């Protein structure tokens, strides 16, 4: 099921989303100040390529909390809202529910990426 889900995900827009995240990551890594943000964009690109069969583990300390608060204010809230809307739209049909669940997983990561690790199930 993971393989089929990931293939459908890639064909139906996941590849374009992952490429977008990678481009954003590269643009952020051009400056020294943007490197931590660029690394989080690469994390999102990796999860966007193959979300099925992967989970996100959250942790980190005070540094991650401060970085996440800055991230939410700058861009995280808008990205999370976009993924949330996509997840709701996917959950309208029974066939789209697994894709909606993946969108919700990515919404949470888009909101709090610092201190998060992507792990295989």
Give the residue-averaged pLDDT of 47-70: 90
The whole-angstrom separation of Cα 82 and Cα 80 is: 5
Residue 89 and residue 27 in contact, taking contact as beta carbons nearer than 8 Å = no
pLDDT at 74: 85
* Inter-CA distances, 107 with 15, 36, 62, Å: 17, 19, 22
Q: How far apart are CA 8 and CA 53, in angstroms?
A: 14
Confidence of residue 91 (pLDDT cuts 50, 70, 90): very high
pLDDT at 92 over 90: yes
Average pLDDT, the chain: 91
Are 49 and 18 a contacting pair, CB within 8 Å? yes
Tokens of 24: 């954003």
Tell whether the model's pLDDT for residue 62 goes beyond 90: no
- Based on the structure, what is the number of domains in the chain? 1
| pLDDT range class, residue 61, cuts 50, 70, 90 | confident
Domain range holding 73? 2-120
């Amino acid at each position: 099921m993971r393989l089929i889900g990931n293939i459908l995900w890639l064909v139906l827009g996941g590849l374009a989303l992952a490429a977008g995240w990678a481009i954003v990551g590269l643009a952020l890594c051009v400056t020294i100040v943007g490197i931590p943000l660029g690394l989080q964009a690469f994390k999102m690109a990796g999860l966007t390529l193959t979300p099925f069969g992967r989970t996100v583990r959250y942790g980190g300390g005070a540094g991650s909390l401060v970085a996440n608060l800055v991230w939410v204010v700058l861009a995280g809230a808008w990205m999370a809202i976009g993924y949330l809307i996509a997840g709701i739209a996917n959950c309208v049909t029974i066939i789209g529910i697994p894709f909606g669940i993946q969108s919700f997983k990515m919404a949470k990561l888009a909101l709090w990426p610092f201190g998060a690790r992507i792990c295989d199930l």
